[in-house]
Structure 1
């Protein structure tokens, strides 16, 4: 926990400058458990109305980060600002109203089995001391928002997993939070239900202007609804940026690994034939995005550079409305001068080019 020293006067709660649009701002956050650095200098912002995805493998620091955000974990050093207020020095009583500004959606729903759906949704307002009439009116409004009005008097045991998560989302919105934390909210759901829950979160973000921070280990979740992504590994943010840009040109090895399941990869039957040195054909990986992916890149290459070129795998997808492509190109021959011409042409058009190897005959 941070210690702020002020000669002769009590140290006031720190507030970031007025006018900033950051709902969350983390500055140099560190947290250790024994010899393990769960967080190792994390700095991050979440702007008002945006969806930020934080992705990493198990043990990367995601859970510790989210616990620091809602005040359940105290950092060893660094600062956590929520809506401009630094929470590191707040006591439990001072944290309670702040926590009401943060809604939580959990992986395993955390619904109370003995309470009806509407009572589950209204629970945060009951804890807050709101009258029952107000609680029930708010619950009805939120159940309509998540498409479960007809389940108001039902009990959680009668609901499907997707319905339970919709109740969890409605409950998280009951106190009109400024920030929604989604902690692996779709990990326990099947793919079709996952898509419907992600569409609901995106709709809520759009309708309410609600800021959402997604914690996940699934890159497909990030791709579906996030505006920006931060990749965490061993307690550090190793990469951050607009989702389409990170998908198009991942800088870190961990990001490339996480993207491996949804970005085109060289088919195993071709990859198994790759050898270093020389061969009848050279296999190139070409990554393009934005304007570079909109043009006639390969036909322009064929017109500008002599030689034979074949597209053996890949294609162009769209992420956040931007084209993002990965193409695997077979170039006849392996002469250094010819390859230099090809790669120079492609790089001048903002493509990222990697020589994967050579094959003895056509693939």
Structure 2
């Protein structure tokens, strides 16, 4: 079925050629509580975008607006060019088949087999039994659970249940997959396997994925881009590597605290008591982080700079360095020399003022 065949042409809105989702100045409030406060965002075909924020930031309301379970008070939401904020419930039904959902708690039917759970959306759609079972088996093969078709959810591990949830979400061949805290209930090893599966599916199917999460490690693992939401507003957005290397919004920095190198407490205490040293935090990404960074600092080390903490890690396939330096506080020329050289390499340099 053509995804636009059920919609009056006046209810469509032109998107850029590769856009799947566009939100324009979306507002939603519940009595005195503002849930969404002017959200604007576009998502391209084949992109994985992470929408991250603390509890109560507006993530749940946003995802419910994207799948049509909530209506915005104002603004526009377009999926594949269709204004879903204007549709009736009956008009929304076929469009929802273009949107797959995976959930934190799996939402599988315990009395149905794995195969029947995956085939259920197709049964609701009215497909013939042979066709929907064939598609269910195809999806179970894609998620690595061909041998579990006849099992029941109670016989599966948490990771296996989430794989069934992913297979079910993909059964109707959606254009968009929404992941609502889908790994929050899983252990770290299982989380890594699920995220790897989502990245593989993204590559194989060219599927657009929106990850709603409060975990930066989820975003850094597979997302191409991240949008940070706080108090119903998007406060920062950009490529994942750029946001990790140079977070600007205070909430982004707080969200990143647990996933970036930081000074251990014993060093913080020691440096605070040493008024003669100035502390710099340095973030830099790309080849410079691996090759040139420390060469450029050799002269500074000779003049009394010390490296006290840090190193190089990789965000997906891009190297990033976060280091902490101390410099003689009285040597203003050395401080400026180091700051200038690092800034010339697009490093983010923060004077921590003795921590």
- Band of TM-score, shorter chain: over 0.9
**How many angstroms does 1:356 deviate by?**
1.8
**2:55 alignment partner, one of 58, 67, 82:** 58
Q: Which moved more, 1:265-274 or 1:168-177?
A: 265-274
**1:191 alignment partner, one of 176, 180, 188:** 188
1:144 aligns with 2:141: yes
Find the aligned partners of 1:296 and 1:18 in 2 and give their Cα distance: 42
Contact 1:305 / 1:341 at 8 angstroms: preserved in 2? no
Q: How does 1:27-176 map to 2 (within 5 A)?
A: 27-176=24-173
The CA RMSD measured in Å over matched residues stands at 1.7
Q: Which residue of 2 aligns with 1:3?
A: none
Tell me, which stretches of 5 or more residues in structure 1 are unaligned? Answer: 1-10
Q: Which residue of 2 aligns with 1:233?
A: 230
Contact 2:271 / 2:277 at 8 angstroms: preserved in 1? no
Q: Which residue of 1 aligns with 2:324?
A: 328
**How many angstroms does 1:333 deviate by?**
4.4
Q: Which residue of 2 aligns with 1:287?
A: 283
Q: Deviations over 1:298-333 (max 9, x none)?
A: 332223786122211101111132221110112234
Secondary structure at 2:253's aligned position in 1? helix
Find the aligned partners of 1:100 and 1:61 in 2 and give their Cα distance: 24
Secondary structure at 1:44's aligned position in 2? strand
**1:348 alignment partner, one of 344, 350, 354:** 344
**How many angstroms does 1:18 deviate by?**
6.0
**How many angstroms does 1:16 deviate by?**
2.6
Q: 1:162 to 1:26 in 2, by over 3 A?
A: same
**How many angstroms does 1:19 deviate by?**
5.4
Contact 1:57 / 1:233 at 8 angstroms: preserved in 2? yes
Q: Deviations over 1:271-299 (max 9, x none)?
A: 123449x7333221111112432432233
**1:263 alignment partner, one of 226, 243, 260:** 260
1:313 aligns with 2:295: no
1:254 aligns with 2:257: no
Q: Deviations over 1:85-122 (max 9, x none)?
A: 11111111110000000000010000001101000000
Find the aligned partners of 1:353 and 1:314 in 2 and give their Cα distance: 14
Q: Deviations over 1:47-104 (max 9, x none)?
A: 0001011000100000000010011100000000000111111111110000000000
Find the aligned partners of 2:229 and 2:131 in 1 and give their Cα distance: 41
1:209 aligns with 2:173: no
Find the aligned partners of 2:334 and 2:94 in 1 and give their Cα distance: 66
Q: Which moved more, 1:40-49 or 1:19-28?
A: 19-28
Contact 1:121 / 1:139 at 8 angstroms: preserved in 2? yes
Contact 2:76 / 2:85 at 8 angstroms: preserved in 1? yes
1:297 aligns with 2:293: yes
Give TM-score, length-normalised by structure 2: 0.94
1:339 aligns with 2:335: yes
Secondary structure at 2:326's aligned position in 1? strand
- Of Structure 1 and Structure 2, the greater helix share is in 2
Find the aligned partners of 2:16 and 2:214 in 1 and give their Cα distance: 33
Give TM-score, length-normalised by structure 1: 0.92
Contact 2:48 / 2:208 at 8 angstroms: preserved in 1? yes
Tell me, which stretches of 5 or more residues in structure 2 are unaligned? Answer: 1-7
Q: Which residue of 1 aligns with 2:5?
A: none
Secondary structure at 2:275's aligned position in 1? coil
